[in-house]
């Protein structure tokens, strides 16, 4: 798990430079930043406000998935909606019941949005802002602030269905006009009453604006600091996904599969690796950057049997699965007998999208055991990858209403 | 190929036809299968019911690995009639997010009749289609015995040679001297437990009632995306989830549907459900069950029983997943036609009112 922590540490630094944390720390809102490219989709940054609100310490939050804040009474449908938004790489705003460290639940307005790489349109991070909801804000159709300005009248969203209306994305352009309103929002922080947990509560317009403006504050910091590393990011996808690039939802589903495997894309020249599991990197000694974009042949060496390679090539050509025993080499030049299973993997259209190669070192007889043979683990990995690819390749584009 | 109908005909299920305990052992003689044993821990106290579904996937599930491995193994051996992952799936345009699959090889009658006079399967065919068995054990933790004789009290997991999705299997109870005729609490519990221990949010179990209850079995598969019914809002009509169980009505859905959920009084929920099902049978209402969310949610779809047309909708169709055999039907599928298809089989408002009442009455008898 050490490497995992390293990845989390590096996640922000490599995209936004070392100084970004300081700037993010100055933002008063409650938010987290997650990295979908790391296995488990962990939180890589957490704001002070968030820690104060939930009662956790920083170390307890970094590296965790956002689900740790959910509990038995968290609405499953809402969780599913969030998952779907992650899958479709879009923004979402809804009410969610979360839990503090001491187990006390609280309602909050959850606003999440993706951060895209300007270069290739890949999702680099997700920002998730949480605005705790108070009964006070909900009860009043209009909200009075200290200076007596009425912020929202009949326009409040009290009658809106929780899951319907909140989904619309808040456009950053429209927020500029609301600037003066935003200055007042901190006035509402004092003496908030806890809501009855049983009844889902609605967010006021003001809550929604607060969430959206917090998102914008974080986004502008990230955009600014991404300039210093040359890896520019933005809040809107500005480049159609490059061919061969995995969606973050697929990366997340694949991350749950613990075995050693790679995905290669037969539609790209030289069939490069587009995904390599942590266990594969551990087995071979390479880093992700060293293998992604490369053909698997770097595993071969002088004693690798060429007839086996031919056999693999043939079955790929025939779009068939095959199992071989092949001598492969690690980064440190040490060799190992690789029990390799290769299988075509189809997407939701039924077309072959990738080939999965499950690599297992032969001498490791006892792969955790529990009655499962290495062959079973190998085949179950293929099954799990097939399901993951089939699910994440569906939806976008076909179901927009 | 062994299809369920064959199994029935050949005594796996239909007790009327067979002299008990005569033919059964002979099928299984010498056959060794992987046997998964549930731990003795009861379902009721189990942690998973307090946790969120779908996302507590960190720990490896032996059962999930076993099922995927065995299924993929058979897929590689070419036992299935087609590669289901080669069939196209899409979301039908509209608000409900119905899913459609184009599957030219799928057989509408999911259990094709055996050709007459054909002698019963050779042992190896049988072995190919039987993936593994599930039994209970005295041990605390679940375990997998890689190779065991088929025990007497077990549930057998067969592939469905015409799968509707990846991992499509049939779960058939196997007792040599008694045959399940009706859905009872222990069978239901087994099915739900399977869902819990597979612990994979894609995995769903299905049960279709039939007027004569002749082939009692569950089906199950991995559905890549949430089914339409799972995304629908619900109105609670009985209980609440915190104290024991909750019964809700799925609103704004074309087929009348109840949702049962429980975090703690799990066994009780099973008994209530079984009781309801037997009443429904008496009321001549067909029903289907969909177990999703790692065993935490049970949807109960209510269909009219039409004497003329016994082929009612299957549980996955009720849930919003439709298969099309022709490209043109697939391309032309609209939300409206799907809504119509579902609403045309649904029971009417009055019957639903009666069912709801009955449901609450049964539930309240179990008392809090």
Domain boundaries, chain A: 4-133+203-234, 248-392
pLDDT at B30: 75
pLDDT at B216: 80
Name A144's bridge partners.
A150
Range in A6-20, A130-144, A178-192, B298-312 with the lowest mean pLDDT: A178-192
- Cα nearest neighbour of A79 on chain B: B52
Tell me if B215 sits within 8 A of B4, measured CB to CB.
Answer: yes
**What residues contact residue A18 under an 8 Å CB cut-off, 6+ apart?**
none
Strand-strand pairing, B88-91 and A322-329: unpaired
Q: Which chain B residues touch A382 with a CB distance below 8 Å? A: 68, 72
pLDDT at B351: 92
Tell me if A101 sits within 8 A of A80, measured CB to CB.
Answer: no
Rounded to the nearest angstrom, the minimum Cα separation between A246 and chain B is 17
- Provide CATH code, domain A4-133+203-234: 3.30.450.20
The mean pLDDT value for A158-178 works out to: 35
Rounded to the nearest angstrom, the minimum Cα separation between A195 and chain B is 17
Rounded to the nearest angstrom, the minimum Cα separation between A382 and chain B is 7
Alpha helices (runs of H) in A17-130, residue ranges in sequence order? 20-25, 48-54, 58-61, 76-88
Domains identified in chain B and CATH numbers: 4-364 (3.30.428.70)
The mean pLDDT value for A387-395 works out to: 79
Spatial separation of the C-alpha atoms in residues B309 and B298, rounded to whole Å: 26
- Cα nearest neighbour of A77 on chain B: B231
The mean pLDDT value for A373-399 works out to: 80
A372 backbone dihedrals φ, ψ, rounded to 5°? -95, 125
**What residues contact residue A183 under an 8 Å CB cut-off, 6+ apart?**
none
Q: Is the pLDDT of residue A381 over 80?
A: yes
Q: Which chain B residues touch A377 with a CB distance below 8 Å? A: 65, 69
Q: Which of residues 211-250 of B touch A (CB under 8 A)?
A: 222, 224-226, 230-231, 233, 240-242
The count of other CB atoms within 10 Å of the CB of residue A46 is: 23
Q: Which of residues 298-337 of B touch A (CB under 8 A)?
A: none
pLDDT at A124: 87
The answer to whether the Cβ–Cβ distance between B202 and A398 falls below 8 Å is no
Q: Which chain A residues touch B202 with a CB distance below 8 Å? A: 387, 391
pLDDT at B368: 52
Spatial separation of the C-alpha atoms in residues B318 and B250, rounded to whole Å: 12
Q: At what angle do helices B349-365 and B266-282 cross, to 10 degrees?
A: 140
Q: Is the pLDDT of residue A8 over 90?
A: no
The mean pLDDT value for A252-272 works out to: 90
Which positions of chain B have pLDDT values less than 70? 1-28, 40-59, 107-125, 176-181, 211-215, 241-243, 264-265, 307-311, 367-368
In total, the C-beta contacts within 8 angstroms joining chain A to chain B are 133
Q: Does domain A248-392 have CATH number 3.40.640.10?
A: no
Which letter does DSSP use for residue A159 in this model? Answer: T
Location of structure tokens 């995905």: A263
**What residues contact residue A184 under an 8 Å CB cut-off, 6+ apart?**
A145, A146, A147, A149, A151
The count of other CB atoms within 10 Å of the CB of residue A327 is: 17
Mean pLDDT of chain A: 78
The answer to whether the Cβ–Cβ distance between A77 and B233 falls below 8 Å is yes
The answer to whether the Cβ–Cβ distance between A395 and B146 falls below 8 Å is no
The answer to whether the Cβ–Cβ distance between B65 and A346 falls below 8 Å is no
Spatial separation of the C-alpha atoms in residues A315 and A321, rounded to whole Å: 6
- Cα nearest neighbour of B63 on chain A: A372
The answer to whether the Cβ–Cβ distance between B54 and A72 falls below 8 Å is no
Q: Is the pLDDT of residue A328 over 90?
A: yes
Q: Which chain B residues touch A348 with a CB distance below 8 Å? A: 88-90, 224
- Interface predicted TM-score (ipTM): 0.85
Which letter does DSSP use for residue A362 in this model? Answer: T
């Amino acid at each position: 798990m050490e490497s995992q922590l390293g990845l989390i540490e590096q996640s922000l630094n490599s995209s936004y430079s070392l100084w970004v944390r300081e700037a993010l720390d100055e933002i008063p809102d409650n938010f987290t930043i997650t990295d979908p490219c790391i296995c488990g989709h962990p939180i890589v940054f957490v704001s002070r406000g968030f820690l104060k609100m939930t009662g956790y310490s920083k170390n307890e939050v970094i590296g965790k998935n956002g689900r740790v804040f959910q509990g038995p009474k968290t609405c499953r449908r809402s969780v599913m909606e969030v998952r779907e938004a992650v899958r479709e790489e879009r923004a979402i705003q809804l009410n969610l019941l979360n839990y503090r460290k001491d187990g006390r639940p609280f309602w909050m307005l959850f606003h999440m949005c993706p951060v895209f790489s300007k270069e290739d349109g890949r999702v680099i991070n997700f920002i998730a802002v949480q605005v705790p909801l108070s009964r006070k804000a909900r009860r009043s159709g209009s909200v009075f602030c200290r200076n007596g300005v009425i912020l929202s009248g009949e326009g409040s969203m009290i009658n809106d269905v929780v899951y319907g209306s909140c989904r619309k994305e808040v456009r950053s352009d429209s927020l500029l006009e609301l600037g003066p309103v935003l200055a007042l929002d901190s006035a509402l922080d004092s003496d908030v009453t806890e809501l009855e947990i049983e009844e889902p509560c609605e967010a006021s317009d003001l809550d929604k604006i607060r969430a959206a403006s917090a998102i914008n504050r974080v986004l502008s910091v990230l955009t600014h600091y991404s300039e210093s590393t040359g890896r520019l990011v933005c809040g809107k996808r500005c480049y159609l996904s490059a061919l061969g690039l995995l969606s973050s939802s697929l990366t997340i589903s694949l991350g749950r599969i613990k075995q050693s495997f790679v995905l290669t894309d037969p539609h790209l020249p030289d069939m490069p690796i587009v995904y390599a599991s942590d266990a594969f990197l551990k087995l071979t000694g390479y880093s992700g950057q060293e293998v992604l974009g490369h053909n698997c042949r770097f595993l071969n060496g002088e004693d690798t049997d060429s007839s086996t390679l031919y056999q693999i090539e043939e079955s790929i050509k025939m779009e068939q699965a095959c199992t071989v025993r092949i001598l492969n080499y690690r980064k440190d030049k040490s060799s190992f007998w690789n029990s390799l299973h290769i299988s075509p993997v189809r997407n939701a259209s039924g077309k072959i999208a990738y080939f999965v190669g499950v690599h297992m070192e032969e001498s490791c007889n006892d792969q955790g055991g529990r009655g499962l043979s290495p062959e079973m683990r190998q085949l179950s990995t293929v099954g799990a990858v097939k399901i993951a690819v089939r699910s994440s390749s569906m939806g976008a584009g076909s179901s927009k209403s | 190929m062994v299809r369920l109908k064959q199994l029935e005909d050949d005594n796996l299920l239909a007790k009327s036809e067979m002299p008990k305990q005569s033919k059964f052992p002979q099928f299984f003689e010498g056959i060794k299968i992987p046997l998964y044993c549930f731990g003795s821990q009861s379902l009721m106290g189990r942690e998973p019911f307090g946790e969120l579904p779908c996302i507590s996937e960190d720990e490896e599930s032996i059962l999930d690995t076993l099922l995927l491995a065995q299924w993929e193994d058979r897929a590689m051996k070419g036992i299935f009639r087609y590669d289901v992952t080669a069939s196209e799936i899409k979301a039908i345009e509209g608000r409900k997010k119905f899913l459609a699959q184009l599957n030219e090889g799928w057989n509408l009658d999911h259990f094709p009749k055996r050709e007459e006079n054909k002698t019963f399967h050779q042992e190896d065919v049988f072995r190919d289609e039987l993936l593994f068995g599930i039994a209970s054990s005295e041990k605390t933790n679940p375990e997998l015995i890689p190779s065991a004789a088929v025990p007497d009290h077990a549930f057998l997991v067969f592939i469905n040679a015409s799968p509707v999705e990846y991992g499509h299997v049939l779960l058939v109870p196997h007792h040599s001297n008694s045959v399940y005729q009706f859905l009872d609490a222990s069978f239901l519990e087994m099915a739900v437990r399977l869902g819990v221990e597979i612990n994979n949010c894609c995995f769903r179990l299905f049960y279709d009632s039939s007027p004569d209850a002749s082939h009692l079995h569950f089906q199950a598969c991995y559905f890549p995306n949430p089914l339409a019914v799972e995304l629908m809002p619900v109105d609670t009509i009985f209980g609440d989830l915190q104290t024991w169980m909750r019964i809700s009505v799925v609103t704004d859905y074309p087929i009348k549907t109840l949702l049962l959920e429980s975090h703690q009084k799990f066994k009780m929920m099973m008994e209530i459900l079984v009781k309801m099902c037997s009443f429904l049978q008496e009321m001549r209402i067909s029903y289907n069950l969909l177990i999703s969310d790692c065993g935490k949610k049970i949807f109960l779809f209510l269909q009219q029983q039409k004497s003329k047309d016994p082929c009612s909708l299957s549980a996955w169709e009720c849930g919003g997943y439709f298969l099309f055999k022709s490209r043109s039907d697939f391309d032309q599928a609209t939300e409206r036609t799907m809504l119509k298809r579902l609403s045309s089989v649904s029971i009417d408002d009055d019957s639903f009112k009666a069912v709801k009442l009955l449901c609450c009455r049964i539930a309240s008898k179990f008392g809090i």
